[in-house]
């Protein structure tokens, strides 16, 4: 009997050990969640990296309009987490919310990619706007759910260490997806040619879209392994109802039964504990009021700073950095800066008296202002390289000689009464005064010593206000003794794509096309018709110009350059070509943008990570998710600030706008310092302190708004779990 009892006891002990091992085993479902997050972030950052260039280059939005659309999209991305949180916590649960909204997300990605296929003839602008809205709903809706759903897979406190590993992997997946897609999609956009174009936006959007479909498949495949919790109510909804009740009750009672605080009017319905917690939240929310300005600066990396890069050169030996590829600097630096700041920078700052979270937040904001000061000074240097454009009271005049003869020109153009135009040469005046009237005509006579050259007497050329008017001198096709002046409106500005822009002016007997053939790569051929061609953007590089089987010239076309080529034939029908640089190519290197990226990334580490920690530790246990939602809303309102300033179009100079944002950030941090001085920190309780009574609410779960709060101290108040919220910003 004794042996049997011993045997039973041994079996029971083994069962307990097996059960304990089962509890501590790493959940297999996590692999599906991590893979899903990698694919989703690859899609989001890949699409966003090339978005503003697609809007300007293919959909022909202005830089300002593209900036507005980009930041409206980003604003909604950070607004829709509220919707996703309410859906997950009040109705669908996290699994269904992630699944359904991911499908909406993938449809949005597909709509943009299909709209970018030029041969389909679809309304690309409309499809892009629809696609962006669907993506905002999708990515914003699942943003507060995925990390929290991953946290649900662990049993605490037994798997607390595994939980920490999960959030490290989760953070790695976010940054890996961002790094790879930010590097890859610009290559797919520019280096792949499709549908007869020298780029392939449909592929650049399509590959991230395909990854989004893969993410849904991966996520659903893990369904049998997931721990799926039922929705238990949303704290934001409850807080909103409580505030609404307080306002309504106060209006109803008016001057009767005056309370110390306006929220106290809801105490009868919602209880004192909830009212006190909401008061604590409101004290923190006052500090949040200045924070959107930081995000107004930070998120311009994908808009204004990308446009700034298009006006620079990226050549590094045989390789060329693409303007949108420079955005990879931020996530790359983040991975190195977080440990650097934790172990080196923060201890040094502590010696200078910068220890508390609000001090670090202020320092991060000041760094953002410095970053925009740097970008403003870089822009001032860039402005020196910009082409001269006709102003409000000026016009520009260019005359290209397409005849193999030298001419003396007699005119009444002020300051240019007599001038010469050599064969294949150019007359150029960038500043012709037009203070009165919208246009003005000048008389010109073309004289030449060669009797066989065509002539024209008493011709007229016109300039127009704020326009660059050009004329091409060519032989009359009917009477070769007569010189024709072909008028057209020129555009000396750099192309929106940043590519070199080419126009060919040919006056030849054979009337054949002029070909530009790439020397390297796939030897793509760009053809230009006889006569006056349109301005055409071509990839930068080394080209051979060919006409009628003859190679006329080797040229190096550089980013930002605007070129006109004049082709003529002599009496022996031998063609020759002359290159005219209308706008000088970009000369300042993109690497000069690195300082502003480094400074704003340092500001992000001090501002964003510290802000997430502050909002977590200063919130009552029941209100942590509410403050996390408010933190995301500061990002949304920051993008709204950019939209307002861009729409105002108050500055002709981009440098002035950068300096405005720098000044706005400095003033904003001054206001924040005043608010921070008055703030009293909520210090964490000691472990032997009795925890505050729980709020008696219908819902049991403190995971509200999808921002899971994991208590690693078994009921004690702590700052553990800060990492759990840090991923929601991305």
Burial 56-74 (b: 16+ CB within 10 A, else e): bbbbebebbbbbbbbbbbb
Cα→Cα distances 595→340, 381, 536, 599, 656, Å = 17, 15, 34, 6, 19
Quote the tokens at residue 580. Answer: 């005219």
Cα→Cα distances 599→183, 298, 346, 666, Å = 21, 11, 16, 15
Cα-Cα-Cα-Cα torsion 341, 345, 349, 350, nearest 10 degrees, comes to 70
Q: Residue 496 — pLDDT band, cuts 50, 70, 90?
A: low
Whole-angstrom distance, CA of residue 537 vs CA of residue 498: 9
Q: Give the pLDDT score at 214.
A: 94
Q: How many CB atoms lie within 10 A of CB 692?
A: 14
Q: Residue 426 — pLDDT band, cuts 50, 70, 90?
A: very high
Taking residues 689-703, what's their average pLDDT? Answer: 42
pLDDT at 685 over 60: no
304-314 per-position pLDDT tens digit: 999 999 899 98
Q: How many CB atoms lie within 10 A of CB 389?
A: 15
Whole-angstrom distance, CA of residue 467 vs CA of residue 216: 52
**Among 480, 482, 284, 464, residue whose Cα is nearest residue 390:** 464
- Rounded to 5°, the CA angle 415-417-423 comes to 110
pLDDT at 204 over 60: yes
Q: Give the pLDDT score at 704.
A: 36
Q: Give the pLDDT score at 687.
A: 40
Q: Give the pLDDT score at 684.
A: 56
**Among 362, 372, 369, 367, residue whose Cα is nearest residue 669:** 362
Q: Comparing 706 with 99, which gets the higher pLDDT?
A: 99
Whole-angstrom distance, CA of residue 657 vs CA of residue 660: 5
pLDDT at 108 over 80: yes
Residue pair 288/635 in contact by the 8 Å Cβ criterion: no
Residue pair 152/94 in contact by the 8 Å Cβ criterion: yes
Whole-angstrom distance, CA of residue 525 vs CA of residue 305: 32
Taking residues 583-609, what's their average pLDDT? Answer: 93
State which of 265-269, 360-364, 456-460, 631-635 shows the largest mean pLDDT: 360-364
Residue pair 613/719 in contact by the 8 Å Cβ criterion: yes
Helix H or strand E encompassing 568? strand 562-569
Taking residues 1-28, what's their average pLDDT? Answer: 57
Cα→Cα distances 223→30, 39, 92, 153, 230, Å = 11, 17, 15, 12, 15
Quote the tokens at residue 467. Answer: 């326009």
pLDDT at 724 over 50: no
What pTM, to 2 d.p., does this model score? 0.82
State which of 174-178, 201-205, 474-478 shows the largest mean pLDDT: 201-205
Q: For all residues of the chain together, what is the average pLDDT?
A: 85
Q: Give the pLDDT score at 723.
A: 35
Q: Comparing 62 with 571, which gets the higher pLDDT?
A: 62
In DSSP terms, which residues pair with 546 in a beta bridge?
Answer: 515, 551
């Amino acid at each position: 009997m004794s042996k049997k009892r011993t045997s039973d006891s041994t079996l029971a002990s083994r069962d307990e050990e097996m059960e304990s091992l089962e509890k501590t085993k790493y959940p297999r479902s996590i692999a599906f969640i991590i893979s899903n997050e990698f694919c989703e972030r690859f899609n989001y950052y890949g699409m966003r990296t090339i978005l503003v260039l697609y809007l300007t280059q293919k959909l022909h939005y202005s830089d300002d309009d593209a900036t507005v659309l980009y930041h409206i999209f980003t604003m909604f991305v950070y607004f829709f987490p509220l919707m996703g949180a309410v859906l997950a916590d009040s109705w669908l649960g996290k699994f269904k919310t992630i699944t359904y909204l991911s499908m909406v997300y993938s449809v949005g990605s597909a709509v943009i990619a299909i709209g970018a296929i030029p041969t389909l003839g679809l309304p690309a602008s409309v499809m892009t706007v629809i696609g962006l809205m669907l993506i905002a709903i999708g990515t914003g809706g699942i943003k507060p759910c995925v990390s929290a759903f991953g946290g649900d897979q662990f049993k605490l406190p037994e798997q607390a260490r595994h939980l920490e590993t999960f959030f490290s992997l989760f953070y790695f997946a976010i940054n890996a997806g961002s790094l790879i897609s930010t590097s890859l999609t610009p290559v797919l956009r520019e280096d792949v040619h499709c549908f007869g174009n020298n780029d392939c936006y449909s592929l650049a959007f399509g590959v991230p879209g395909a990854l989004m479909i893969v993410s849904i498949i991966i996520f659903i495949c893990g369904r049998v392994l997931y721990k799926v919790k039922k929705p238990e109510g949303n704290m934001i909804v409850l807080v909103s109802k409580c505030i609404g009740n307080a306002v309504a009750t106060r209006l109803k009672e008016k001057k009767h039964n005056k309370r110390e605080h306006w929220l106290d009017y809801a105490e009868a319905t919602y209880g004192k504990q909830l009212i006190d917690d909401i008061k604590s939240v409101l004290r923190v929310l006052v500090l949040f009021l200045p924070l959107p300005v930081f995000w107004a600066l930070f998120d311009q990396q994908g808009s204004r700073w990308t446009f700034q890069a298009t006006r620079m050169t990226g050549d590094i030996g045989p390789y060329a950095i693409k303007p949108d590829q420079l955005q990879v600097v931020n996530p790359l630096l983040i991975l190195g800066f977080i440990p650097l700041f934790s172990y080196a920078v923060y201890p040094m700052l502590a010696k200078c008296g910068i220890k508390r979270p609000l001090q670090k937040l202020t320092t991060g904001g000041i760094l953002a202002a410095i970053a925009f000061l740097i970008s403003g000074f870089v822009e001032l240097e860039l402005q020196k390289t910009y082409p001269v454009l006709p102003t409000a009271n000026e016009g520009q005049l260019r005359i290209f000689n397409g005849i193999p003869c030298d001419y003396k020109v007699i005119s009444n153009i002020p300051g240019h009464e007599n001038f010469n135009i050599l064969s294949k040469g150019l007359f150029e005046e960038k500043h012709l005064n037009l203070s009165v009237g919208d246009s003005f005509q000048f008389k010109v006579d073309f004289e030449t010593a060669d009797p066989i050259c065509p002539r024209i007497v008493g011709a007229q050329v016109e300039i127009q206000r704020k326009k660059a008017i050009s004329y091409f001198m060519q032989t009359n096709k009917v009477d070769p003794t007569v010189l024709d002046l072909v008028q057209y409106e020129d555009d000396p500005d750099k192309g929106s794509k940043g590519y070199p822009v080419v126009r060919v002016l040919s006056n030849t007997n054979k009337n054949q096309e002029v070909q530009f053939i790439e020397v390297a790569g796939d030897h793509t051929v760009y053809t230009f018709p006889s006569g006056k061609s349109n301005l055409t953007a071509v990839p930068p590089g080394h080209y051979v110009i060919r006409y009628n089987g003859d190679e006329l010239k080797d040229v190096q076309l550089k980013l930002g350059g605007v070129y006109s080529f004049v082709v003529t034939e002599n009496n022996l029908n031998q063609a020759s070509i002359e290159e005219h640089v209308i706008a000088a190519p970009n000369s300042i290197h993109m690497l000069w943008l690195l300082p502003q990226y480094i400074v704003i990334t340092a500001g992000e580490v001090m501002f964003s990570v510290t802000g997430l920690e502050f909002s977590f530790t200063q919130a009552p246990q029941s209100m942590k998710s509410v403050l996390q939602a408010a933190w995301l809303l500061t990002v949304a309102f920051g993008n709204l600030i950019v939209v307002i300033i861009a729409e105002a179009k108050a500055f002709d100079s981009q440098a002035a706008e950068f300096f405005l944002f720098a000044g706005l950030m400095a003033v904003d941090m001054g206001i924040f310092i005043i608010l921070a001085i008055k703030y009293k920190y909520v210090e964490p309780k000691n472990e032997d302190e009795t925890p505050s009574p729980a709020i008696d609410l219908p819902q049991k779960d403190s995971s509200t708004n999808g921002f899971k709060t994991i208590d690693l101290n078994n009921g004690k108040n702590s700052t553990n779990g800060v990492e759990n919220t840090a991923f929601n910003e991305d």
